[in-house]
Amino acid sequence: MEFDRDLFVIGAGSGGVRAARIAATHGAKVSVAEDYRVGGTCVIRGCVPKKLMVYAARFADDFADAKGFGWSVGATSHDWAALIAAKDREIARLEGIYAANLDRAGVEILRTRARLDGPHRVRLADGRVLTARHVLIATGGTPVRDAGFPGSELAATSEEVFGWTRRPERLVVVGGAYVALEFASLFAGLGTKVTVLYRGEEILRGFDGEVRRHLHAALVARGLDVVTGDLPTRLERTPTGLKLETRGGRVIETDEVLLAVGRRPATRDLGVETVDLALAADGSIPVTGAAATNLPWLHAVGDVTGRAALTPVAIRDGHAFADEVFGGIPREVSHELIPTAVFTTPEVGTVGVGEEELRTAGTAHLVFRSTFRPMRATLAGRDERTLMKILVGEADDRVLGVHVVGPDAAEMIQLVAVALRMGAKKADFDRTMALHPSAAEELVTMRQPSDRWRP
Ligand code: NDP
């Protein structure tokens, strides 16, 4: 059978762009369709702009701490519109680079919506139908907009926040995971009065319990109101803003409500019913290996697959898919030991398992723990403490999990992840010379376990 293209990619986000570019460098004729902006969630309205806003928020600490080091900073104020404009310029620059890289690799970018239209066929918004030997779905995900209470349409999601023309003075964030806590923390840093409303017992479900409690306390100490075990029941507009009522009987007057209650795989209106593709219950596309679906010509990478919704995972899988299918290079991508960070202030960095997971698995382990005041905090007069935890298998001395809550946690955990991938034992950490003075040196100087757990 003759096809118009070797590869048609639906979605120009992190995974789709990488796959398209690598496939083209292997000589494939590739088109990628995107109905929004090239770069996807991460670049346009996710990780990248969020991190820029986190940097903006953290200057508040710098100004406050500077005094202890002899500086007089004077009056400070923040111009939200200037931040958004600067962020928009940077995102436009990055989008340009992504598009230029595709162009240079010979990938055709179709700025339109595309959907499946039977095996090997893709229909564009203008009705044109193209055929491709392989189709890759890399449509990502979209924020959940309906949290099941009246008035939830008055709330924003992460997608709108990046375009807000004014910073709210009061903000309620619904949810207790990455998106909720990162925005809650950065808005608080910029001066917004923030309430986090989380339905569970403790924020950051799935993380090590001590990390969750430590971060919760740190956010409260920074002035955030963190409410657990409660849910919104109604949201309505008032003459002065919004009024949120909760199941627990709270009535909160606020300027904005941010719904950060998860994301859905973007498989709606994708034409999956035109092919024999089996979706999972949550609407995601199950894959094996890098990107294989139950159809040999159809592939999927990134958030749409329901795998860890993280950019590096999409990029790795997209690259591996292109290498395998178009370069004949077998690739194995491991989804184990994925390091992750929550860019709150203080930030969380984690790799491997937490204590609760080890207990559930019945794994005897030692807990090495250190809490300390970072050096900078001394002169700054700040009492926020850093938490570091190393979890070690008792049977074989293997390091099974490392957790940091404190400045630069993400930077540290990326490198710790290399050691864990190599199968590092606690003895390897111990024989590594400390780098002094640093916070990270604590990771190689903890000698006495604080706890031991046996099934
Ligand atoms: P998550 O799915 O991780 O968390 C959703 C949160 O909303 C949870 O706290 C959940 O509670 C709560 N929730 C879900 N449904 C409701 C509801 N109906 N009413 C009230 N609360 C509800 O979603 P996020 O949007 O935070 O993040 C999506 C993904 O994006 C993450 O899994 C992560 O992979 C990725 N991401 C990564 C970042 C990073 O690496 N720094 C940053 C941002 C996103 P419960 O715990 O009880 O289920």
pLDDT in tens, 256-299: 999 999 999 999 999 999 999 989 999 999 999 999 999 999 99
The pLDDT tens digits of the residues spanning 364-420 come to: 999 999 999 999 999 999 999 999 999 999 999 999 999 999 999 999 999 999 999
Per-residue pLDDT tens for 2-56?
999 999 999 999 999 999 999 999 999 999 999 999 999 999 999 999 999 999 9
Which residue's CA lies nearest to atom 42 of ligand 1? 178
User: Does residue 121 have a pLDDT over 90?
Assistant: yes
Distance, in Å, from the CA atom of 121 to the CA atom of 98, rounded to the nearest integer, reads 26
* Distance from C-alpha of 261 to C-alpha of 309, rounded to nearest angstrom: 14
CB of 260 closer than 6 angstroms to any ligand 1 atom:
yes
What's the DSSP call for residue 282?
A: T
- Mean pLDDT on 52-71: 98
Atom 7 of ligand 1, nearest CA residue: 261
- Average confidence (pLDDT) over 296-314: 97
Quote the ligand 1 centre to 55 CA distance (angstroms). Answer: 22
Determine the distance separating the centroid of ligand 1 and the alpha carbon of 70, expressed in angstroms. Answer: 41
Instruction: Show Cβ contacts of residue 298 under 8 Å, excluding neighbours closer than 6 positions.
Output: 116, 134, 135, 137, 275, 277
Same fold, 5-142+264-327 and 152-261: yes
pLDDT at 326 over 90: yes
Q: How confident is the model at residue 217 (pLDDT cuts 50, 70, 90)?
A: very high
Enter the pTM of the model: 0.97
Detail the DSSP E strand segments found in 336-419: 340-342, 348-352, 365-372, 386-393, 399-405
Residue found under tokens 């903000």: 171
Ligand 1 site, residue 310, Cβ cutoff 6 A: yes
Are 30 and 5 in contact, with CB atoms under 8 Å apart? Answer: yes
- The whole-number pLDDT of residue 1 equals 81
Distance 201 CA to ligand 1 centre (A): 15
Look-up: residue for tokens 């202030």? 345
Residue having the nearest C-alpha atom to atom 29 of ligand 1: 309
**Polymer length in residues for the chain:** 455
- Dump pLDDT digits (tens) for 77-89: 999 999 999 999 9
Task: Please state, as a whole number, how many other Cβ atoms lie within 10 Å of the Cβ of residue 158.
Answer: 21
**Strand residue runs (E) in 255-321:** 256-259, 263-265, 298-300
Second CATH level (architecture) for the domain 5-142+264-327:
3-Layer(bba) Sandwich (3.50)
Distance CA 207, CA 355 (A): 9
CATH annotation of 152-261: 3.50.50.60
Given the residues 78, 335, 365, 436, the one annotated as active site: 436
For the chain, the domains span 5-142+264-327, 152-261, 340-453
Residue 177 Cβ contacting ligand 1 at under 6 Å: yes
- C-alpha of residue 128 to centroid of ligand 1, in Å: 37
> Ligand 1, residues 45, 178, 340: which to mutate, most atoms within 8 A of Cβ?
178
Q: Are 323 and 138 in contact (CB under 8 A)?
A: no
Which pLDDT value is given to residue 343? 98
Residues sharing a CB contact under 8 Å with residue 185, sequence separation 6 or more, in sequence order: 54, 57, 194, 219, 222, 224, 343, 344, 345
| Residues whose CB falls within 8 Å of the CB of residue 119, separated by 6 or more in sequence, listed in order | 275, 295, 297
The minimum-distance atom of ligand 1 relative to the CA of 181 is 26
Tell me the CATH architecture of domain 340-453.
2-Layer Sandwich (3.30)
119: Cβ below 6 Å to ligand 1?
Answer: no
Residue 314 Cβ inside 6 Å of ligand 1? The answer reads no
Q: How far apart are CA 193 and CA 186, in angstroms?
A: 11
Of the candidates 178, 136, 156, 81, the residue with the CA atom closest to the CA atom of residue 321: 136
175 lines ligand 1 (CB under 6 A): yes
Question: What percentage of the chain exceeds 90 in pLDDT?
Answer: 99
> How many Å apart are CA 321 and CA 251, to the nearest integer?
50
Output the pLDDT for position 390. 98
pLDDT, tens digit, for every residue of 137-195? Answer: 999 999 999 889 999 999 999 999 999 999 999 999 999 999 999 999 999 999 999 99
| Protein residue whose Cα sits closest to atom 36 of ligand 1 | 178
- Could you report the per-residue pLDDT of 435-454, keeping only the tens digit for each? 999 999 999 999 999 999 99
Catalytic (active site) residue 436: yes
